[in-house]
């Protein structure tokens, strides 16, 4: 039996989460004793030669983590901003892969540092932490912005077109008294966008009640009445999405102001760190 695309997508997301969780769990299981002893005692620990920042394991974690972060940043940036990549995959999926790489990468670098921070590396590390935390906030904001199925942000014009299409479909599917259509057309005036949550819910219930009464007075069949009420609910949802679009797009613009500078600082200091390490002869298995 062929799996649905949504099911495959959920399996992939779950697998990526498992990869991150297992990686962290394995590193903690193997190196817990080493990471938890005082710094001055680590030199005598059996794992020190391998797990220290310049050791084969520690150094490798730093290299792999850095590659994952760079790949996560630039692949998503190229997909989002360069037209030649615009048809490769769904932007939403690229964002999820970006989040995966930029979650696993920082954790590997954290183990690379053996939880010891200092000097210029500390600047890169804390910038990385700021990027990671702001990325979580950014992901939440991004989810609040309405998107198409391809992951493209919907504009206010797009959503107003959707609203007009719903009204058009309603008028084409059933012939009702004009007063019922007026409930749809004037609903936005009855529910203030600036009202509090509970007040708005109360207004919506009132309008729904008026609609049901109107349908009942017109002797509309139950099945058709349910379809009309569902269409009305779709209009309510769409109006909320339109309101959310305006506020969240502004907030997302402010978020970029904080997220991008920290990402640039992290990348610049990371490059300096790599150049210095190579200059002083710190090489991995090459």
Same domain, 175 and 102: no
pLDDT the model gives residue 150: 45
19-26 LR contacts (CB < 8 Å, sep 24+): 19/100, 19/104, 20/100, 20/103, 20/104, 20/107, 23/104, 23/107, 23/108, 24/107
Percent of the chain with pLDDT over 90: 12
CA distance 232 to 235: 5
153 DSSP 8-state letter = B
CA distance 183 to 181: 5
Q: Please report whether residue 235 resides in a domain.
A: yes
Give first-to-last CA distance, the chain, whole Å. 47
pLDDT the model gives residue 285: 59
Same domain, 235 and 268: no
Task: Domain of residue 254: give its range.
Answer: 5-153+247-279
The pLDDT tens digits for 9-25 are 788 889 999 999 999 99
Same domain, 241 and 253: no
Reported residue count of the chain is 286
Same domain, 252 and 237: no
CA distance 191 to 58: 59
Q: Please report whether residue 284 resides in a domain.
A: no
Same domain, 256 and 223: no
Q: Which of 129-133, 143-147, 228-232 has the lowest mean pLDDT?
A: 143-147
Same domain, 122 and 24: yes
36 by Cβ neighbours in 10 Å (0-12 / 13-18 / 19+) ranks as exposed
Helix (H) or strand (E) holding 263: helix 222-279
Averaging pLDDT over each range in 22-31, 151-160, 218-227, 269-278, which range is the top one? Answer: 22-31
Same domain, 197 and 128: no
């Amino acid at each position: 039996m062929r799996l649905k695309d949504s099911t495959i997508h959920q399996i992939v997301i779950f697998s990526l989460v498992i990869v991150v969780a297992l990686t962290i769990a394995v590193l903690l299981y193997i190196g817990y004793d080493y990471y938890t002893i005082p710094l001055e005692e680590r030199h005598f620990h059996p794992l020190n030669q391998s797990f220290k920042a310049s050791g084969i394991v520690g150094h490798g974690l730093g290299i792999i983590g850095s590659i994952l972060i760079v790949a996560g940043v630039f692949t998503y940036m190229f997909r989002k901003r360069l037209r030649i990549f615009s048809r490769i995959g769904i932007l939403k999926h690229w964002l999820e892969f970006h989040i995966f790489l930029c979650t696993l990468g920082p954790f590997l670098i954290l183990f690379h540092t053996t939880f010891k921070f200092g000097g210029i590396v500390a600047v890169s590390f804390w910038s990385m932490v700021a990027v990671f935390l702001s990325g979580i906030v950014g992901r939440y904001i991004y989810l609040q912005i309405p998107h198409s199925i391809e992951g493209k942000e919907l504009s206010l014009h797009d959503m107003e077109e959707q609203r007009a299409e719903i009204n058009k479909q309603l008028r084409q599917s059933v012939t009702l008294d004009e007063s019922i259509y007026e409930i749809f057309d004037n609903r936005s005036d009855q529910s203030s966008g600036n009202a509090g949550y509970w007040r708005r819910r109360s207004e919506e219930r009132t309008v729904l009640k008026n609609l049901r009464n109107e349908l009942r007075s017109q002797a509309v069949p139950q099945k058709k009445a349910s379809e009309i009420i569902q269409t009305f609910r779709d209009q309510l949802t769409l109006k909320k999405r339109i309101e959310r679009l305006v506020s969240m797009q502004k907030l997302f613009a402010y978020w970029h102001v904080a997220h991008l500078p920290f990402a640039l600082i992290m990348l610049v200091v990371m490059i300096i760190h790599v150049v210095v390490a190579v200059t002083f002869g710190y090489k991995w298995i090459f």
